[in-house]
Chains A and B, each alone.
Chain A
C-alpha cells in the first residue's frame, strides 16, 4: 500500500508492522468486517418482517395458520440455532436445484439421490459451474442470510407475539366500542402501542444477532473468523511477512471488535428506550414524568 513497503524483508519495527497490517490479505480482513455489518443490515429488517408475519400467524383465527405460527415461534426454543444454520442452507440449496431440475430437464430419468450423491442436470446447478467465483460467493452468502433470517425471524416472532399480548386489553375493547373492525383495531391501536413492549426483547435480539455473526464461518463464508485463522497461523520465511503463530492476538482483536459493537449498541438502545418511554403509562414513563416535574 505504501511506497516503502516494496521490500518487506528489509523493514523492521513499527514500519514493518504498518506494512504488515496494510498488505492485501489484511485489506481483505478489513473488508470482511464490512461483510459482518452487511449481514446484520440485511438480516435485521428481513427477520423483523418474518417475525411480524409469524406473530400475526400465531394470533390467527384459522387453525392451520395458527398452528404454523405457533410452531415457527417455538421451534427456536427447543432446537439449537446452530442446527438451523447447518440445515437451512443445504436444504434450500437442494430445494432450489430440485425445482430448477424439474423445470429445465423434464426428460431426465436417473434418480436424484444416488447413494451418497445429489445429482441434478448441469443446467439446474446453482450457481452454474461456469459462473465466475464471485457469483458462487454471493450465492453462499445469500443462503447464509436466509438461514439467519429464518432463525432470527422466529426469535423476533416470539418477542412480537409477547408484545402484542402485552398491550392492555382495555385499549382494544375501546377500539371495538368505537366500532372499529378487527383489522382497523390491529392497525390503529395494537401495532402502534406494541413497540414499547417489544423494545427490551428486540434490543436483546440485536445483541444476540451481533454475537451470532461469527457463525458465518461455519457456513463457509470468508468472514472475519476465517481471515483471523488464516492470517494468524504461523508463516514461514517463504512468505513476505514471516511470523510465528499469532492467532491468539487476532482473536483478541476480534474480541475487542465485538465488545465495542455490543457496548455501542447498548448505549444507543438505552437512549432509544428512554425516548420511547416518554409519555407512556409504564414504570419508566412515570419516572420521567416525576423527574420533569
Chain B
C-alpha cells in the first residue's frame, strides 16, 4: 500500500472521516506521519479558537483590572489569579467533573409561559469543554500581559492625547490601545506558542477521546504504546510542533511589523526566539 493510499485513508481520521479502524500491526513511518498529522487538526482547532476568543476577553480583563471601580477590578483580579495560579491540568479535571455533574437531560429554565431546556451534554465533549477551559486559561494569561502593557504606556503619549483634546473612548482607541498592543505583542507571541503546546494536554486530562478521535499526542502515544518504540512517534510529533511554532512566530511577527510600522527601523522591536520570561 502506497503512502498516498494511507493519506486518503487516515488523513482526516482525527475528525472521524475515512477508515475507522486504526492500524494494529506492521506500522510504517508513513502511518505515523499521516495519523499524527491528522491529530494536529485538533491542536490547531483548540489553539486558534482559544486564542481568538481569548484575545477579546483578555482586553476586557486588562481594562477591568486597571479600573478604579472595585466592582470591576476585584473580579478581574481574582479571575486572573485563579487561572494563572493553578495548573491547567487541574483546571481540565475540575471543569470536566463539573460538566459531568450537570444533569444529562439538560437544565430547564421556567420562564412563566414556557420552559427552555438548556442542553448540557455537549459540554462534556472535548471539542467544547476543553475549548472553554483553554479559552479561560489563555484569557487570564493574556489579560495579565495586556494589563502590564497598559500600565507601561508612556506618560508622554497620554499627555499628547490630552493636548489634542482627546478623551474617553477616542483617546483609548487612538492612543492607548495601539500602544498597549505594541508593548504587549512580544509577550503575547510567547503566550500563543505556549497555548499551542498546552493543547496537547486535552486528551490526557479527563476529557476522553471518543472513538479514538484524538489530537496528535494521542496518536503519538498510541503508536509508542503499540510498537514500544518511542524513537519514531515522538520525533515525528516534535517535528510537527517545531513547524507549528515557526508558523506562529512568523504570523505574529507580521502583526508585530504592522504595529511598529510608524517607528524608525532601528527602534522596532523584533520577536525573538529566546524570551526572558517563559510563561
Contacts and interface: CB of A to CB of B under 8 A. Distances in A.
B214 to A, nearest CB: 13
Interface string A244-278: 01011001101100110011000000000000000
Nearest to B27: A116
B93 interface: yes
Contact of B276 (A200, A213, A228): A200
B277 interface: yes
A159 B278 CA distance: 8
B218 to A, nearest CB: 11
Given A82-B217, A255-B94, A204 B277 contact: yes
Contact of A116 (B86, B98, B228, B238): B228
Given A78-B241, A78-B245, A86 B221 contact: yes
B90 A225 contact: yes
B220 interface: yes
B87 interface: yes
Given A204-B277, A248-B98, A118 B87 contact: no
SS class of chain A's interface: helix, strand, loop or mixed? helix
Interface string B136-162: 000000000000000000000000000
B89 A215 contact: yes
A118 B229 contact: yes
A80 interface: yes
A228 to B, nearest CB: 8
A259 B230 contact: no
Chain A's interface size range is 35 or more
Contacts of B204: 82, 218
30 contacts: A77-B274, A78-B241, A79-B245, A80-B217, A82-B217, A83-B200, A87-B230, A90-B224, A113-B229, A116-B227, A116-B228, A158-B274, A159-B276, A162-B274, A162-B275, A204-B277, A204-B279, A205-B278, A208-B278, A208-B279, A211-B86, A211-B88, A213-B87, A217-B89, A232-B97, A245-B97, A247-B93, A248-B101, A254-B90, A255-B91
Interface of B: 25, 81-82, 84-91, 93-94, 97-98, 101, 193, 196-198, 200-201, 204, 217, 220-221, 224, 226-231, 234, 237-238, 241-242, 245-246, 273-279
